[in-house]
Structure 1
């Protein structure tokens, strides 16, 4: 492959990024600008043109799906598949390091990855051992605290103690949790990165080995990196004059929407500062959306400060105007969306090409009801993944016990599934004894049975479980992986147990268990010499941790705006475009959060390829109360020339009310000649204080919509209302 063929079909900016000779390169890639294409072609360029060995390349992304796609595209682009190149997620690569250097990382060889559910079980167990009330110290809250500390690279002894009893208790839980994980050979997702980082810090010779190996590091979705991921990358690359690797970071600060999950937008903003001589290439040509959609997105995101700055454009058509619909309430809004989707389908389009996006999961209920009434098939994107389903978790726990009897989380999950007369008291007694002796639940159970520490009934039941696992292991020793799974499912009683559930759920669970056998049959271990079962369980745990749904049948896609990142649809509805809903009320009050909300709006708008609807409700029942919110500021940011307003009569008109000179706004940002603005607090001599929601008309006939704190919504004649700004 020559230089010309690698650069074929790339635009000028893409070619500059792919062929850059700069040591450090930031590719600022706007939505729909072909960032994955650039990343893959740059790897091909390094191998084919600069003659870099694949062995010297490390490519990092955020999901297993993206990593698989990257490998496939690299293989298709090169004359022969490159060997020795590391391509994977942060967690996957960290896991690979820890599996290779388990001794140096102070881990057992067959350490087990805890998924979120099993992690919560361990947290709950250690909290109970500390004598903490679960209602006051819920395991989910403690789990969040532990994970957030690990994302920041903090062990319990790193956390600054201020004397706050709440934090002190959480640190105690964190400490006890760490001890339990170390004792049981268990590693959660946050631990993978943190321990991999510590592995290099504590073993400089290992760090030097990998620094000498990986001379080219390429990172996708750089704006989503958190503190520990960024530290891990900087440590591997080397800092300042000691930098030994060339780093290519691809990302978009305008699409950084996971701050609540630990992502730091400042990582991409500080790239040029932290990596000497870094050059920035901007990918601004969009291949996804029409001109009007892009112009709207540019107008919304331009209001954010501290941007690295870019402007999306297309050489395609302007396309249809963006439609804006004001529903009387949330039911009217949902009916409108359903009607438009029905029209879309009648025109010969596919259900799966339409998406409804919303800020809060609570919005989906009314939308679902409207789609059901209209007989429109839909699915909630981001529902439970295959490996997260109850029956699959149970099956995997049995398989994990075959591999490692001392996996406490797996033991606890299935010791009484299916029910075998091992009650909560028995399990708690085993927990207490295990903690006191510092041994695993399996070893503790063996001792309890041998020394008759349990009641006769409980002892026999526990002994039966131990015998079952040993028998299953012995029977499966020479079987291929899928036959192991088949044998375990049948002999454990899981198929019969889950099949007894009433209705279609039981059959669905049985079908899922059968699909697990198919998954085992199609699994290809990366290491032919290693344990196929161990590698399968590791991949299943990594897949389960991504929290992303698989593609489904043809149906309208419903999802939160956060779930929509990375996706695209010909038809998109952004529902609930109201102040206090989107942007969310809490974001308005917290520094930095409003900027992230605006980035979320930018992401939502740029999901649309051909047609975009913005909808809102003038009144909305949500969270148990009725609200009267003004139209979202993100709608008001869009210039009127890119919008058309859809009336209740289905008539469509251009919203001249958006023009600053029109002064007849239902959605005016300034209140025309009233001197008031949307969202402003005002005082009325009878109704008290309230918030301005809307305006109608102009001059002496102007009417102002105000939601009063004590009296609720009122529509007042501006001339006689004598409203005073608070």
Structure 2
């Protein structure tokens, strides 16, 4: 292949980046501007033009999928094997280095890499050996602390004892963890990076070898690098001026997990002779979508600055829907997806993007009711999440003491000092007596075989379950759920969890909302022997098992905005744009966090290729609370001529003035005799507002918000009058 075949498909800016002379270079690549194409063509051009041999090129990215794609595209472009190129993730390449230099890295030849679960088990063993109570010193919190220290290049020996009890304890555990890993030849993921950095730093001969070998180093998603990754790259390239990085300061959204947006600015300071090339032509989205993204991100300070543009035309306006509540929001989104599919669109070209995982429940429920397959991308469906399954297990055990699976799940969550031996004794007795674990636990207590400490712990658990049942006997369903979450200690337990603690607590609070909604939506049936709790637990089990699509099935994609980075969809619904939700409540008083939220909004908008819907709700039940939020500040930052409001046919007062959008409503027509937003009068419940409608003809029913709360009514029997 000749050089022209490599550079001819490129635009001017891409060609400039690909063919630039060797030297430090920052390619500032906007969303959808072809950054992977530039990296691949850059390496291919260097090989074909005779600038560098394949074995002298190194390319680093963040995911195995991205590394495989990069290698595949180079092989296709050059029609040759890319085996001699070093292409991989930071962790993968660090592992490769350590395997080659175990002696210099002070590792045994047979060292083993631990995954996150293995690492957690090791930390729990250390807590036991040091005599620490895991209830007071959660293993996940310690895991987070150790990994964060390593990401900053900090060993236990580098940390001074400042007299603080917390820091002193963490230091002691970190030191014991390091010693155990060294003795056992164990390496965790964070250790791979730190140890690889130390290998190069402390062995001049090894460093010189790789500096000489890698004549050009390429880095993808540079804005996502952390401190130790940047230090590793600096060691390899410090004197050679041969670092080629592609990144986008406007898409730096992982500060919460250690990514340093500052590394883009450090790169410029550390490489005085560097070049900066901006890729601003977008090949993904329409002009209206890009205009909105450009205008929003311009409100962030300290940007390097770029303006995305496209040759594909203005496209459809962004459509804004103001929902009455979260159920109306989900109903609207699913109906628009249904229309898309009916017009010949693929479900897999549709994404619903949200800020918080807890928001997925309403959309999952509505998609299930519509018989529409979906997949929760990069996460679990609501009722499959561990914290939700644990809370439901408490409820199941309250409803049925002989539910062994639920007994096993909750007996030591939160940790309450019931050890593995006591559990084995219960299991053995249950098998021997052919009885349930609950009954076996009672028999074991009566036998007097347990130590006083174990007996107290087990008895406390049994009394807790009984008390939860007694205390909630006359409670409504959502009150039962709320009491279990709080009185069982689950809420406090997950608050201490450093691994997505806030998200897990929010999910638990959303379970209360699910129960409250079930109270109003669950129509009476003929099965009087089933309690409302029984029906809710059955509902949760059925929702957990169905409608999650197979890997290659045509299905709607649900995901958080963080999970959406790097993806694109023809039709995107960006939902829940409300103050306190997006941007999050934690960010509104913190400039740095607010700017990261705005970058997250920019990422969400630029996932859309052809059509973007944005929604917010006038009222929302979320995290166990009802609120009446203001529209997100990000809506006010969208140019008025790019957005159009979608309204129901009934004229309902909406806070349009707050968001300064063009008043050109697109009317939706729906075949129901009542419309959302209409006022109606009921003989018993008084005057209320229609929230949503379902079904047709004799089966049509409506949800109405009355002064005493929302209710579902069958129109055939309700005798409603329009007000």
- TMscore range, shorter length: 0.5 to 0.7
Unpaired runs of 5+ in structure 2? 387-418, 425-540, 666-723
Q: Write the distance in 1 (CA, Å) between the matches of 2:652 and 2:107.
A: 65
In structure 2, the CA distance between the partners of 1:124 and 1:32, relative to structure 1 (3 Å rule), is same
In structure 2, the CA distance between the partners of 1:655 and 1:347, relative to structure 1 (3 Å rule), is farther
Could you tell me whether the CA contact under 8 Å between 2:582 and 2:632 is conserved in 1?
Answer: yes
Tell me which residue corresponds to 2:437. none
Tell me which residue corresponds to 2:64. 64
Residue 269, structure 1, aligned to residue 268, structure 2: no
Could you tell me whether the CA contact under 8 Å between 2:241 and 2:271 is conserved in 1?
Answer: no
Q: CA deviation at 1:649?
A: 2.5
CA RMSD of aligned residues (A): 2.9
| Aligned 1:547-558 pairs, distance under 5 A | 552-558=552-558
Could you tell me whether the CA contact under 8 Å between 1:583 and 1:597 is conserved in 2?
Answer: yes
Tell me which residue corresponds to 1:53. 53
Q: Write the distance in 2 (CA, Å) between the matches of 1:142 and 1:298.
A: 41
Q: Write the distance in 2 (CA, Å) between the matches of 1:379 and 1:118.
A: 28
Q: CA deviation at 1:635?
A: 1.0
Q: What whole-Å deviation, never above 9, does each CA across 1:665-701 have from its counterpart, x for those lacking one? A: 99xxxxxxxxxxxxxxxxxxxxxxxxxxxxxxxxxxx
In structure 2, the CA distance between the partners of 1:255 and 1:551, relative to structure 1 (3 Å rule), is farther
Q: Write the distance in 2 (CA, Å) between the matches of 1:53 and 1:77.
A: 16
Q: CA deviation at 1:371?
A: 1.1
TM-score of the two chains, using structure 2 as the length reference: 0.67
In structure 2, the CA distance between the partners of 1:427 and 1:109, relative to structure 1 (3 Å rule), is farther
Q: What whole-Å deviation, never above 9, does each CA across 1:545-577 have from its counterpart, x for those lacking one? A: xxxx99542110000000000000000011110
| Aligned 1:89-488 pairs, distance under 5 A | 89-238=89-238, 243-383=239-379, 424-425=420-421
Q: CA deviation at 1:646?
A: 1.0
Q: Write the distance in 1 (CA, Å) between the matches of 2:233 and 2:345.
A: 45
Q: Write the distance in 1 (CA, Å) between the matches of 2:628 and 2:660.
A: 24
Q: CA deviation at 1:6?
A: 1.2
Q: Write the distance in 1 (CA, Å) between the matches of 2:28 and 2:54.
A: 25
Q: What whole-Å deviation, never above 9, does each CA across 1:353-384 have from its counterpart, x for those lacking one? A: 10000000111111111111111111110137
Tell me which residue corresponds to 1:467. none
TM-score of the two chains, using structure 1 as the length reference: 0.67
Q: SS where residue 647 of structure 1 aligns?
A: strand
In structure 2, the CA distance between the partners of 1:307 and 1:147, relative to structure 1 (3 Å rule), is same
Could you tell me whether the CA contact under 8 Å between 2:645 and 2:664 is conserved in 1?
Answer: no
Q: Write the distance in 2 (CA, Å) between the matches of 1:135 and 1:628.
A: 37
In structure 2, the CA distance between the partners of 1:651 and 1:23, relative to structure 1 (3 Å rule), is farther
Q: Write the distance in 1 (CA, Å) between the matches of 2:254 and 2:661.
A: 38
Q: Write the distance in 1 (CA, Å) between the matches of 2:651 and 2:622.
A: 29
Residue 584, structure 1, aligned to residue 584, structure 2: yes
Could you tell me whether the CA contact under 8 Å between 2:111 and 2:187 is conserved in 1?
Answer: yes
Q: CA deviation at 1:601?
A: 0.2
Could you tell me whether the CA contact under 8 Å between 2:26 and 2:275 is conserved in 1?
Answer: yes
Could you tell me whether the CA contact under 8 Å between 1:643 and 1:655 is conserved in 2?
Answer: no
Could you tell me whether the CA contact under 8 Å between 1:644 and 1:655 is conserved in 2?
Answer: no
Q: CA deviation at 1:229?
A: 0.1
Q: What whole-Å deviation, never above 9, does each CA across 1:517-554 have from its counterpart, x for those lacking one? A: xxxxxxxxxxxxxxxxxxxxxxxxxxxxxxxx995421
Q: SS where residue 308 of structure 2 aligns?
A: coil
Q: What whole-Å deviation, never above 9, does each CA across 1:602-655 have from its counterpart, x for those lacking one? A: 000000000101111111111111122111111110011000111132899999
Could you tell me whether the CA contact under 8 Å between 1:645 and 1:655 is conserved in 2?
Answer: no
Q: SS where residue 589 of structure 1 aligns?
A: coil
Q: How many residues align?
A: 510
In structure 2, the CA distance between the partners of 1:367 and 1:660, relative to structure 1 (3 Å rule), is closer
Q: What whole-Å deviation, never above 9, does each CA across 1:682-725 have from its counterpart, x for those lacking one? A: xxxxxxxxxxxxxxxxxxxxxxxxxxxxxxxxxxxxxxxxxxxx
Q: CA deviation at 1:85?
A: 1.6
Could you tell me whether the CA contact under 8 Å between 1:56 and 1:214 is conserved in 2?
Answer: yes
Q: SS where residue 250 of structure 1 aligns?
A: strand
Could you tell me whether the CA contact under 8 Å between 1:200 and 1:206 is conserved in 2?
Answer: yes
